[in-house]
Structure 1
């Protein structure tokens, strides 16, 4: 029996969790209640009724973003009052920050209930006192600095750069800024002093048109790099490959969905990323990373249809929850996909349909 049937649910959805003993990453279904975070296994496209674990939120500490995993910028860390660490990864920055916001609010509420009189004094933000060249040195540090990689913008590949969001994440994680807003102000100051430079169209345009405080973009598609005067640090060679064009589109939607395998017909949680111009749908194995897709296809000429929840459609195997839809590609490959909720199913179908029309 699940003892938590009557507890109010603040939020629920897929997160990828790192195992305690074996440090592998597994997708789990998480349910946030006012005082704990419960997680369940998702087997064959259905949530286990049996709870796999719970994290009591009272006296927990949250670190968001947590940037010590090089290929996983969307992780946040929860540390319980007994010092047990839980590493959880969301499907997008928005999702990560929403989960972290709701968990933080629950922790604060538990604190307030515990001691009405305790008021925490926070130090005033000290952005203006930062020594900018020291911040640059920290960012440039080989071990704890910001990671440089190749990025594609509008079909061009840029090497040795990073996104605006990655800079903001790093400044918050390193506690050089308390909030994202403060981090943007600090990054704008670095930009103004020539300690960072714009790369590609989006960031150049923002610098040209914005006011002084908004010169820097907290955006995962706006690119920046270190000034040319700094020596190359472990530079990354730009590689152009077939997928560079596929992966160059603007990200329209990201989320965890269940996909039926083509051969074994088993259901697995995958991170789906929908891009436009050019319109492609890629999916990634969330236990690995979101850099190399496990598969994907162009949306041009695709047909997407919602499947009814009564009865099991032909071609579908296993114990399914519902919220099914089907995509038939131009090359007549059939993809069966399940969303966690009816609303998410409809949102994905609409977004994919839009992609099929905009790319034709």
Structure 2
């Protein structure tokens, strides 16, 4: 029988020979992971057998790269993949882990129930856990983070804390880790920094800690401080990033000059209404460009000049800005195209 395709999409992969990271089209089958240079390629660039493989997630081998997971083969070959956002990584990790488990048991792939069991110990020593988190070598790293024209010194993101708790085997899944982190927050070991984490802490729910890259926290006895900044050059650019993230993920984009198509990570924000695009292999420090969506029109299209010459066909859509600049994009599937069009239309109407 032919292997069954379980999941497919764009991920960033670290080269096995060179240390460069590149966006590739990844196909998860029930017995292997195949990756292609382009979605339309028939021959895979490589194949990772899953029999006897192990999965590490979160993988914290790269301090400057988040959302990485590692697949190690039975022959001790390590393959590193990076997702564009947390939800995407968790979907891939869950399916790969399940595929490995099914192979080991000689069973056909089938997804488990989405319900997650929570089995935390009746008593948890939060003081000891806090000391481990602050360990300079193996603990949570304190960083300088930027948001809303402010610099947050000696802090870290909520997702970083959850990743650490899982990687250090303090919890079995993200649900348990959020409950532990909420306990640390409620007891004052962790403190919220910035509006997002403060809003979460004030909700009064059972889990007040936010497993988000937008939520910042710091150690209660650290040297945390926040500073604002502004200059004539950065005010306009920083204003673009103020809005909440509505949707994010990888799409193919046609270049304006050379008309070639490349994989780009897109982040759609609501207010101000902007969509920024990045090279997914290089992170989110500097966008390659941005599209102001206020007053723009987005529609599905069936034909784009020169697209077929680059083997790009199907699931195409177009954004026309109020300045009549045309952007041509391709989604991985028809449903994904619908989701992107719906999201962009909503932001274009309501955002500033």
Partner of 2:327: 335
- Aligned residue for 2:281, secondary structure, equals coil
Task: Flag the structure with more relative contact order, 1 or 2, with Cα contacts below 8 A and sequence separation at least 6.
Answer: 1
> Distance in 1 between the 2:337 and 2:241 partners?
23
State the distance in 2 between where 1:69 and 1:146 align.
12
- In structure 2, what is the Cα distance between the partners aligned to 1:352 and 1:71? 30
The answer to whether the aligner puts 1:113 opposite 2:106 as a matched pair is yes
Deviation of 1:305 (Å) = 1.9
1:287 is matched with which residue? 281
Q: Which residue of 2 aligns with 1:63?
A: 56
Kept after mapping to 2: 8 A contact 1:148/1:162: yes
Match of 1:354 among 333, 346, 351: 346
In the alignment, what sits opposite 1:269? 263
RMSD: 2.5
In 1, distance between residues paired with 2:188 and 2:309?
A: 58
SS in 2 for 1:188: helix
Shift of 1:56: 0.5
Gaps of 5+ in 2: 108-118
Cα distance per residue 1:207-262 (max 9 Å; x no partner):
33324x413222333322222x4236xx8966543332211211111111011111
Partner residue, 1:148: 143
- Tell me how far apart the structure 2 counterparts of residues 304 and 49 of structure 1 sit (CA, whole Å): 31
TM-score normalized with structure 1 length: 0.85
**Structure 1 residue 263 displacement after superposition:** 1.4
Q: Which residue of 2 aligns with 1:91?
A: 84
CA contact (8 A) 2:251 2:265 kept: yes
Counterpart residue number, 1:179: 173
Quick one: structure 1 residues 315 and 183, their matched pair in 2 at CA, closer, same or farther if it must change by over 3 Å?
A: closer
Select 1:31's aligned residue among 3, 27, 45: 27
Within 2, Cα distance between the matches of 1:136 and 1:127?
Answer: 20
Query: What residue is the counterpart of 1:10 in the other structure?
Result: 6
Name 2:116's counterpart in structure 1: none
Which has the higher mean CA deviation after the structures are superposed, 323-332 or 53-62?
A: 323-332
TM-score between both structures, scaled by the size of structure 2: 0.87
Give 1:184 shift.
Answer: 1.5
Contact 1:326–1:336 (CA<8 Å) still a contact in 2?
yes
Q: How many residues align?
A: 336
More deviation in 162-171 or 137-146?
A: 137-146
Q: 2:218 aligns with which of 203, 219, 225?
A: 225
Counterpart for residue 253 of structure 1: 247
Task: Pick closer, same or farther for the CA change 1:354–1:87 going to 2, 3 Å.
Answer: same
Q: 1:3-48 CA deviation, whole Å, 9 max, x = no partner?
A: x9x4321111111100011110111111111111111111xxx521
Pairing of 1:316-331 with structure 2 (within 5 A): 318-331=310-323
TM-fit CA distance, 1:76: 0.6
* Matched-pair contact (CA < 8 Å) for 1:127–1:182: no
For the residues of structure 1 that align with 2:120 and 2:207, how far apart are their CA atoms?
18
Q: 1:54 Cα deviation (Å)?
A: 0.6
Separation of aligned partners in 1, 2:145 and 2:229: 8
| Structure-2 change in CA distance of 1:315 and 1:219 (3 Å) | closer
- Give how far 1:134 is off: 5.1
The runs of at least 4 consecutive aligned structure 1 residues that moved more than 4 Å come to 124-127, 235-240, 314-317
Match of 2:113 in 1: none
Partner of residue 210 from structure 1, selected from 196, 204, 207 = 204
